[in-house]
Structure 1
Amino acid sequence: VYFSPDKSYVVAFFRDNQNYQAKDRLVTVVGAYRERILNQVGGEYWKNLFCWPYALVEHNGKLGVVAPTYQKQFFFEYGSKNNDFLGIKGKDKEGKWFASPTNRNRYIDSRELGDWQNHIRIGILISRAVKRLHAAGLAHSDLSYKNVLVNPINGAACIIDIDGLVVPGKFPPDVVGTPDFIAPEVVMTSYLKKDDPNRKLPNINTDRHALAVLIYMYLLYRHPLRGDKVHDMDPQKDEALSMGAKSLYVEHPTDTSNRIKVANAKPTELPWKDTSKIPYTVTGPYLTPLFQRAFIDGLHEPSKRPTADEWEVALVKTIDLIQPCQNTSCDQKWYVFENTTKPKCPFCGTPYKGKLPVLNLYSSRKEGQYLPENHRLMVYTNQSLFQWHTNRNVFPNERISDAQKKREGYFVLHNNVWYLVNEHMNDLMDVTDFNNKKVIPVGGKVELTEGKQLLFSRQEGGRLAVVQLVDGK
């Protein structure tokens, strides 16, 4: 890989000679596919999520691609601990540095680590980018933490190594993937020849497996299939079985034979490898069923795996459930608030103290008839209310307009009383008493009390919120 003189782009040459099909794929990737995704309406958005090559070059008989240089934010600013003893300052932020508890605890400078909220944001962006590829009929084929750059400081992500895109029926995959992220059906049939009809090759369904593994590892810092079950005394055969035919979720509810044994874990891997202390259910009610589908129902039945779109929606709704930890020394700083039992941070154990409003959201399909949406918004000081909370027809994705990004209101705790301050909602009403509805004008505020009903908007898709007060004594 060579930098341009002004460092604005790189030229990456392939070590091996590329055959006609490989050249044809590259011509299509830098041409038609790039045009279809990056040069259409909204294409500017995708330029931040993909490092997409835009030209081919040949030099001294070698074929190369020209691609933009990674954004500055995807290079380590501080590097590793103790004055960067690993020498990674200035190197690119491969996701593997942030998905391992040992790397996080022992090696990476704490200023690089970000927090749990930003890891959810990273998951949203990766899911959104993969969704876009799949919508175009493309599979990445080698989705892994080596091919995703992340910045946990602000929750940014970028998918790289686009040159190996798979197009079913036209461009088969060049690689089977990166260990840890290869789908079981690909591992199981890897001994067969590439043209054998029984050989399973990377495709959209195998991308879905890799995406689920990535999200699991970014939120729980462990691998969902690497438990302590031994299938064969030969390490190579054991690896093939544990990642292929005999792969088993380490948190399978009924088959516990592949549980991670805490006694075998290193101190730097705890508490993350202790699935009894930090089970996958700490990710909340929207992500938990998707992990079950990915690693129980869909592990060996690819058609049952969650789509990238489903992951994006669940992660966005999970952002609305998180609460800042009241322990200022908590490494993760945020957690999904669980109020069915005494609420506490699952990462550091700090209980929540004080009264906390939860807004349960309802929306209308017919005028005057509001149905529950299985969507809640946790409140905390200076938490913002946006149009995607007040109207079910607005979703915070790549298509959202600048006007829709504007904050509608915010929450504040004053003299032990919670308020919603109205900034831009022209229709905001307190409709708790049907016979005595109260308009909350722009610039006004409304107290949040148990059972309070707030109508955010009378427009189509406008939501109603019912307040629930949780008391964490």
Structure 2
Amino acid sequence: MLQIGSTISFQKNNYKLVRLLGEGGQGIVYEVTDDNKNHLALKLLFPYAVSQETKVALSEEVTQRNSPDNRFLWPANYVEHVDQFGYVMPLREARFSSWEKLVQGRVKPVPQLDTLIFACRSVCEAFFNLHIQGLVYKDLNLGGPALDTKTGEVVICDCDNVRIDNDPNGERLYFPEFAAPEVILEETTCTRYSDYHSLAVLLFYTLVRHHPYQGALWEDINLVNDTSERAFYATKPKFIFGSDHKNTLPKDTNPARNWDRLPVFMRKLFYKTFVDGAHNPKERTTDGTWVKALIKFQDNIVRCSHCKTLFCAENTDICDTCGNKLRRHCEISFDERKVLLTEGMVFQVDKHFLGNKGLGLVVNHPRKRNEIGLKNISKSSWKAYLPDKTVKNIAPTASIILMTGMTISIEGNHYKILTIN
């Protein structure tokens, strides 16, 4: 371990060690400052834990590329010090919590469902941008992504193993729980298809809070070793919600409850990856498909007017927390999307507060409980086009009663009221 306060110099760059951030199997990470007093993270790898291929890739490839997405804490400058080598990257802000703590239920505040979906979508978007540049992450696991539990913003760490897709000379680096069967079986190197598997495992852990292949049979193992991992994750993987799920379900009932809360289209995508795609990589759900599905999932999240819990109304109009029926709600259409809104919900372009200011607040009529309206909470006036061709102006702070067939024009965008129930 290096002395805190000391300085590392390499190729005219100087980094002063501020504090130790953490240590893992591959190396040690420090907070440092550069010559311009910028606070960064320095990761020095243990020479016995990484290969010469990693050193060459870091110095000649990874650090020479621009980050494919700003959510990756991308290796910026290559560094050597005595017998160690590594890289400098952006410092992860303190507001971000590790994904491992998230799935273990050790984060505060606990993210609401829409925030969690937004975070999942953000990871998928980042991987989509990585893959379209012909790159693969290789070893995605719970230690890579981190999220702000209030906003759903995401950063992705540990990008030092990013390589060219399907590189025949690339190392097979992976965590068994997240690795695709063909990688564990050494049938192929890491590809975007193996990344698709790892990404689906991460999403499954996040939304279901369990591993897709760790069912009842896994729980009966006395000793987990390479042989058992190879069987459960590679040669004979059994999806816990597959066709014979009665024999594969874990003893804990929470995963089944979380699974039932997912919309049907999300369950089908998991099935496609963990059953159809287990040994047929091209059948796996792609990152772009996950993005579209998570947007649809998010658009179907509503707030129960009784207990104020968020839940998905794609499958049912009954709150899965308190059992009460969903009260008055409307469906708004725009850009080929359909968004559900209930009393007290804020309508936004992305139906999430991150980077989008609220446009309208769904309110109940003060006297007629069977009518709902939309209050203008933006700074500009709207125009509402009623079914009878009447046009009304809605100034900021004003409200309008919603009706089926109405179109509202907000800042040049048109939003049509499809249904009111």
- Identify whether the pair has TM-score above 0.5, normalized to the shorter chain: yes
Equivalent residues in 2 for 1:23-422, closer than 5 Å: 23-34=55-66, 37=68, 46-47=69-70, 49-74=71-96, 93-100=97-104, 104=105, 108=106, 111-168=108-165, 170=167, 172-187=169-184, 189-190=185-186, 199-229=187-217, 235-236=224-225, 237-254=227-244, 256-260=246-250, 262=251, 265=252, 271-273=253-255, 275=256, 278=257, 280-325=259-304, 333-338=309-314, 340=316, 343-345=318-320, 349-353=321-325, 355-359=327-331, 361=333, 373=336, 375-387=337-349, 405-415=356-366, 416=369, 417-422=371-376
Contact 1:29–1:163 (CA under 8 A) maintained in structure 2: no
**What whole-Å deviation, never above 9, does each CA across 1:335-385 have from its counterpart, x for those lacking one?**
112464x5122xxx312346221315377xxxxxxxxx5x43221234233
Distance 1:115 1:459 in 2: 29
Corresponding pairs, count: 380
**What whole-Å deviation, never above 9, does each CA across 1:118-165 have from its counterpart, x for those lacking one?**
211210111111111111111100111111122323322211111111
Higher RCO (CA-CA < 8 Å; seq separation 6+): 1
Residue 441 of structure 1: SS of its match in structure 2? strand
Return closer, same or farther for 1:352/1:173 CA change in 2, 3 Å cut-off: farther
Partner of residue 437 from structure 1, selected from 376, 380, 389: 389
Contact 1:360–1:468 (CA under 8 A) maintained in structure 2: no
Is residue 69 of structure 2 the alignment partner of residue 15 of structure 1? no
Distance 1:21 1:235 in 2: 30
Report the Cα offset of residue 174 of structure 1: 3.6
Distance 2:408 2:381 in 1: 7
Contact 1:166–1:203 (CA under 8 A) maintained in structure 2: no
Structure 2 counterpart of 1:50, which letter? Answer: F
Distance 1:288 1:425 in 2: 41
Q: What residue in structure 2 maps to residue 87 of structure 1?
A: none
Distance 2:291 2:207 in 1: 14
Structure 1: unaligned runs, 5 residues or longer: 38-45, 75-92, 191-198, 266-270, 364-372, 390-395
Contact 1:166–1:172 (CA under 8 A) maintained in structure 2: no
Aligned-pair identity in percent equals 20
Report the Cα offset of residue 202 of structure 1: 1.8
Return closer, same or farther for 1:96/1:325 CA change in 2, 3 Å cut-off: farther
Distance 1:291 1:164 in 2: 26
Is residue 415 of structure 2 the alignment partner of residue 453 of structure 1? no
Alpha-carbon RMSD across the aligned residues, in angstroms, is 3.2
Structure 1 stretch displaced more, 456-465 or 118-127: 456-465
**What whole-Å deviation, never above 9, does each CA across 1:366-408 have from its counterpart, x for those lacking one?**
xxxxxxx5x432212342334468xxxxxx9x9xxx8xx4544
Structure 1 counterpart of 2:384, which letter? Answer: L
Structure 2 counterpart of 1:94, which letter? Answer: S
Residue 124 of structure 1: SS of its match in structure 2? helix
Contact 1:425–1:457 (CA under 8 A) maintained in structure 2: no
Structure 2: unaligned runs, 5 residues or longer: 1-28
Higher strand proportion: 2
Contact 1:124–1:312 (CA under 8 A) maintained in structure 2: yes
Return closer, same or farther for 1:224/1:324 CA change in 2, 3 Å cut-off: same
